[in-house]
Amino acid sequence: MALRLFEEVHNSIRRDLMRGNLKPGDKLPSERDLAEKLGVGRPVVREALRALENSGVLEFRKGASGGAFIRQGDGRAVSRTVNDLVFLGTLSLDQLTETRKCLLDQAVRLACERGTEVDFTALEKNIEQMRQALLAEDVETSISEIMDFYALLGTAAKNDVLTVMIGSLSEIIAQILLALKPDYLTDLVAMRLEVLSHIRNRDSEAASKAMNTHMEILHNYVVEKSKSLHTLNLEPFDLRT
């Protein structure tokens, strides 16, 4: 099947990225210059750029020095894909939370092995911010801090793929928790402090056991309460805002 014009432009830019001709932070030529270079109309270029923005490859900046730039990269596109697959029924929420448990178990073990005091201090600060948000009954901030904990854990594990994958599988969990506002969130401070204590002591078995207990509670709650996802009136929850 022949590619549509905007797909050809889209693929041309991605090809330059794959070959190293474009790198994160690089600014693309203007729409006019791209159109002339590729022999297409500006609307075609515009459509291709929007597709690349939606897939997380580009970002648009405003102002005199603005334009289309290659993104540094994060897991947003992966999150959107995973969420869509769950809501379409291709993936089950049960499978998603189960996979997330496996990834977090590995992250905890690697954090015990590779984490630094800087990483542990960041986790400790996150737990305190979560505690304050819970006391203030600020549910949205609480859940943001709860999910940031997993990103910081991935950082402590020194594995960027784990960080992206855990974050991508966490967005839908954040949406559900924000909708349900479960009472058990207040128990998370003690749970997190226990996990962190074991990580600081480099006790991977104890840290893994504590994290798995924590994840089992969350897993059972989310799966039980979300048997009908479409009735929860979920709203997108950006973990990186």
Total tally of structural domains belonging to the chain: 2
| Distance, CA of 46 to CA of 121 (rounded, Å) | 45
Residues paired with residue 60 on neighbouring β-strands, in sequence order? 68
The CB-side HSE value for 17 (13 A sphere, CA atoms) comes to 20
Q: Are 53 and 83 members of one domain?
A: no
What pLDDT tens digit does each residue of the chain (241 aa) get? 345 888 888 888 989 888 989 898 999 999 999 999 888 999 999 999 998 888 778 889 888 888 999 987 667 778 778 888 888 888 888 888 899 999 999 999 999 999 999 999 999 999 999 999 988 988 788 888 888 998 899 999 999 899 889 988 888 887 777 777 666 667 888 999 999 999 999 999 999 999 999 888 888 877 777 665 555 556 555 544 4
| Distance, CA of 172 to CA of 33 (rounded, Å) | 40
Distances (CA, A) of 74 to 26, 55, 64, 71, 85: 16, 11, 26, 8, 19
**Looking up tokens 């990483």, which residue turns up?**
119
Structural contact between residues 176 and 226, judged by C-beta atoms closer than 8 angstroms: yes
**Range list of H helices, the chain:** 5-18, 31-38, 42-54, 76-87, 93-114, 117-135, 139-156, 160-180, 188-200, 204-225
What CATH number should be reported for the domain holding residue 36? 1.10.10.10
Retrieve residue 131's tokens.
């505690």
Is 191 inside a domain boundary? yes
SS3 59: strand
Is 183 inside a domain boundary? yes
Provide the b/e sequence for 187-201 (b: ≥16 CB within 10 Å).
ebbebbbbbbebbbe
Q: Are 89 and 187 members of one domain?
A: yes
Q: Are 123 and 169 members of one domain?
A: yes
**Range list of H helices, 157-187:** 160-180
